Structure 1
Amino acid sequence: MFSFDNSYARLPDTFFSRMDVSGPNSPTLIKFNETLALELGLNVGNSTDQDLAALFSGSVKPEGADPLAMAYAGHQFGNFVPQLGDGRAVLLGEVIDRSDQRRDIQLKGAGETFYSRGGDGRAALGPVLREYCVSEAMYALGIPSTRALAAVLTGEPVYREQTLPGAVVTRVASSHIRVGTFQFFAARQDADALRQLSDYVIQRHYPEVADTPQPYLNLLKAIIDRQAYLVARWMQVGFIHGVMNTDNMSVAGETIDFGPCAFMDQYDPTTVYSAIDSGGRYAYQNQPGIAQWNLARLAEALLPILADDIDEAVALANPVVVGFAPAYQAYWLDGFRQKLGLMTERDDDRSLIEQGLQAMFDDQADFTLSFRALSAGSSAFAAFTSERPALTEWAALYQARLALEPEIDLVRREKMESVNPVYIPRNHRIEQAIQAALGGDLSLFHKLVDVLAHPYEAQTEYADYQAPPRTDERVLQTFCGT
């Protein structure tokens, strides 16, 4: 099925620990992503659901796989842990997809690894379904993200605050290398390993910097630019990652590790969902600043290979890290201009956008529905804001700005509808699907995945999936599941 070419496994043994995967005896397939399988060039042939369940639970080791758990460190809520690593994930190997891109195939929840730190290495059904839904929704929204290839019930319990069904999700990524991977070797003062890792990341993700005069400094610049773009895209759809530790930041610029993540309903920049983020460190409004903080930690890790003299290395790295803010602001502004249908640029656009967001906050308006109503034209937005005085007042400023645009209304609306989704993975819908699945009914999960596959298209039969939660449906806390 897989044509593996396992480049990471050819790095020195200090980068990982090899694993013997031992899967469950009676796994059951929940979902197989056939579209993604085609992209990856997988040949499933005449495989039955039982065959796929065995493969994607770890019960069967595919030919050519070289299972390993990756080593990394990380700052968790600001506190540095020198060794973390894949505690419940196993990298089976890498494939070259139909677009000639290298992709990791990883089992998450397949059991204990060298880095489990006393944990069981298993995953519960709820977090697996959440990751499948949200990662595939992010992809459909056009936001760089890991993907979900399969979800499997293990048929075995996992023990958290209560006994829960076990499950495994198969994750696909451009790679699983993190800021924390660099920190792992920096903490050990292993400059040779830092160079090897940097050279590998350059070859795999940023070949354009390989032949530049300062490839490691330019690698840092390239990673920072991708992260600036990624976080700006999160902000434009109201996504809250929930646990932006340095070990959860991919150097490939993809959204990774969907633990206590959620999408905002009512607009409030202080929104936090994660049950473990009691101080609001990773609140919606804090995500850009945290991203820059994490990237400063990456720069610190790279200092030994940026220059022989530490002061010179710091002098090189500082302006690159400082450059995150203007890069992020440019991506943020460009994205929100598109959401408002502004195809030209004017100096007061930022103020107009910020005033609109403040009006949403004042009116306690839903973030996603507000922008989608805006996409439907002035009369539809007027109906949406009829009982929202702050947005009504802002709409007059917006209409005055639109009068300066050359686009005709129909063309602008089409463009706006392509960036303002109808459907997001609303937290209450995910929770409803999880609770039904815990009771043995997976139909809500399958329905939700189908709806989220086309987020920009109004689907008449799924109109109720647009709506924010009623007061009694609100889910205010999410959990990692570890």
Structure 2
Amino acid sequence: MAVFDGEHIRFSFSQLGSAFGNAVKPTPLDNGRLLTYNAALADELGLTTADIHSESFRAILSAEAPLAGRQPFAMKYTGHQFGQYNPELGDGRGVLLGEWRDDKGTLWDWHLKGAGKTPYSRHGDGRAVLRSTLREYLASAAMRGLNIPTTQALAMATSDTPVMRERIETAATLLRVTESHVRFGHFEYLFYSRQHDALRTLADYVIARHFPELAEAETPYAALLQEIVERTAEMIAQWQAVGFNHGVMNTDNMSILGQTFDYGPYAFLDDFNPSNICNHTDYTGRYAFNQQPAIALWNLSALGYAFTPLLESDVINDILGGYEHHLQVAYSQVMRNKLGISDAQQGDSELFNALFSLLESQRVDYTLFFHRLSHITQDALLSAKTLSQFNDLVSDADTLTAWLSEYHQRVAAHDDNTRLTCMQATNPKFVLRNYLAQQAIEAAEQGDMQPTHDLMRVLADPFRSHSGLDHLSQRPNDDEKDLTLSCSS
């Protein structure tokens, strides 16, 4: 269809030069066909149902045809994986198809994952499987529904192509869209390979494409690094507040836009466990839930080091030095929203810490606790009926009563309707628990997409009830909790 032929398409990143990657020819899927798509995102991009179901889109999604007749591009980057620098990274199973301009003039990268081998595939086959593709499709929708910055998945294709992992699986592709696929690792690659002119070109490109207002700053590169630091801190604050564990925070999985990027062995906490590890290859707990704020700073420091050809070291260190304050301010604000507290007071951190101690010691379901609390009026906070609502979550009623008493005093001067409205808009009823994602995957592998459609419906609006689907908010059974996954999950 004409919509995919030209006027909406640009290819600016691939035109930066050979230092930034390679033009590639994807490997088509066998009998590739549309499996599912995000209708709300399609609408945001200006695509109709007819566009999505067209033969042109099917061919693009199945890696049979390029976007607007232009050759796809595999991006080159490197990065630190589990703290060790790896120079051999890059788009090993994905290609940048081009940049789509929507009706508002916003440019979106279209990136096809699972499109076959590239120069950066190393020993891999360049394929993605239905299992991992569906997990990313669902996770990006979940984060978008929670108002947490994220890449998004427009559509998935399935196929008749077999892929060997631990077993024979079905090859799939995922069309990921976001304003930028530039990672911390892009800057690291150009720095460590001593391509400093190209490093400056990349920084100029990022400013011109994503932060044009920074071009007017006294020191644009310092302003760029500051922007990345602040966006990353705000993203991490939101991860921690909602109980999201990324699982593999390598620098090549960190977006310069402060978006949640590259979903692999992620998890939303079930029982509150600050030391939760969701990646079964993370033997040291480097990427445990409670390590994410520190790892983000470590990653930003690696990015700052890559900026040394552009900025003086003392400038970089000053910018990095502001990360923890910015994180704390952002996190405190989100936590106050979760508790419906409209003003900051000196004792708030003690109130938060007492709650986290309760949640950890009692292994309380993180999402359900906050959601239930967000529907209890001040007058009812200390009632026997309220305590009974937490019987299945908290075994120590005395500790809960003590904390609720402190909380009751803290919000006594608040307007109750305002408090509850804030809490109900902040504390989701639905999150993408791993057992739900696994159920959707197993059904999809048998050709049943209804569980996926049901999840997409509740995840798009996770703060309210959904008729006939409230069972998707239930806590998992013991054998469904704390699933650990691999990077290929």
Aligned residue identity for 2:281: I
Match of 1:376 in 2: 375
Deviations 1:413-451 (A, max 9, x none): 111101100000011000111122223322212221222
Aligned residue identity for 2:373: L
1:98-117 alignment runs, 5 A limit: 98-117=103-122
CA contact (8 A) 2:270 2:481 kept: no
How far has the Cα of 1:154 moved from its partner?
2.1
Match of 1:310 in 2: none
Aligned residue identity for 1:455: P
Q: Counterparts of 1:223 and 1:96 in 2: how far apart (Å)?
A: 24
Deviations 1:47-98 (A, max 9, x none): 6366543321212223244410100010000000123000011110001223
CA contact (8 A) 1:231 1:291 kept: yes
Structure 1 ranges of 4+ moved more than 6 A: none
SS in 2 for 1:333: helix
Gap regions ≥5 residues in structure 2: none
Aligned residue identity for 1:423: F
The reply on whether 1:28 has 2:33 as its aligned counterpart is yes
Match of 1:299 in 2: 304
How far has the Cα of 1:101 moved from its partner?
1.9
Q: Counterparts of 2:89 and 2:296 in 1: how far apart (Å)?
A: 20
The reply on whether 1:403 has 2:402 as its aligned counterpart is no
Aligned residue identity for 1:358: S
Deviations 1:328-373 (A, max 9, x none): 0000000000000001111111111121111111111111011111
Q: Counterparts of 2:99 and 2:32 in 1: how far apart (Å)?
A: 24
What's the TM-score, normalizing by structure 1? 0.95
Match of 1:309 in 2: none
How far has the Cα of 1:42 moved from its partner?
3.1
Match of 2:60 in 1: 55
The reply on whether 1:433 has 2:464 as its aligned counterpart is no
Q: Counterparts of 2:353 and 2:482 in 1: how far apart (Å)?
A: 27
Counting aligned pairs with the same residue, the percent is 39
Q: Counterparts of 1:70 and 1:157 in 2: how far apart (Å)?
A: 26
What's the TM-score, normalizing by structure 2? 0.94
How far has the Cα of 1:412 moved from its partner?
1.5
Match of 1:228 in 2: 233
1:241-320 alignment runs, 5 A limit: 241-306=246-311, 313-320=312-319
Deviations 1:273-323 (A, max 9, x none): 1111111100110000000000000110000111xxxxxx21111121111
SS in 1 for 2:307: helix
SS in 2 for 1:460: coil
Aligned residue identity for 1:77: F
The reply on whether 1:68 has 2:67 as its aligned counterpart is no
CA contact (8 A) 1:106 1:172 kept: yes
SS in 1 for 2:475: coil
CA contact (8 A) 1:272 1:282 kept: yes
Q: Describe the shift of the 1:384–1:357 C-alpha distance in structure 2 as closer, same or farther (beyond 3 A).
A: farther
SS in 2 for 1:461: coil
Match of 1:84 in 2: 89
Aligned residue identity for 2:425: S
Match of 1:203 in 2: 208
Q: Counterparts of 2:94 and 2:77 in 1: how far apart (Å)?
A: 13
Q: Describe the shift of the 1:46–1:299 C-alpha distance in structure 2 as closer, same or farther (beyond 3 A).
A: closer
Q: Describe the shift of the 1:65–1:238 C-alpha distance in structure 2 as closer, same or farther (beyond 3 A).
A: farther
SS in 1 for 2:203: helix
Tell me which moved more, 438-447 or 197-206.
438-447
Aligned length: 474
Q: Counterparts of 1:210 and 1:102 in 2: how far apart (Å)?
A: 19
Q: Counterparts of 2:318 and 2:58 in 1: how far apart (Å)?
A: 49
Q: Counterparts of 2:93 and 2:400 in 1: how far apart (Å)?
A: 46
Match of 1:457 in 2: 464
SS in 2 for 1:304: coil
Q: Describe the shift of the 1:381–1:253 C-alpha distance in structure 2 as closer, same or farther (beyond 3 A).
A: farther
Q: Describe the shift of the 1:431–1:223 C-alpha distance in structure 2 as closer, same or farther (beyond 3 A).
A: same
Q: Counterparts of 1:96 and 1:175 in 2: how far apart (Å)?
A: 13
CA contact (8 A) 1:69 1:91 kept: yes
Q: Counterparts of 2:184 and 2:251 in 1: how far apart (Å)?
A: 5
Choose the corresponding residue for 2:454, options 447, 451, 472: 447
Aligned residue identity for 1:207: P
Deviations 1:455-482 (A, max 9, x none): 0111131111111111132352112218
Tell me which moved more, 268-277 or 60-69.
60-69
CA contact (8 A) 1:71 1:83 kept: no
CA contact (8 A) 2:454 2:469 kept: no
Aligned residue identity for 1:315: D
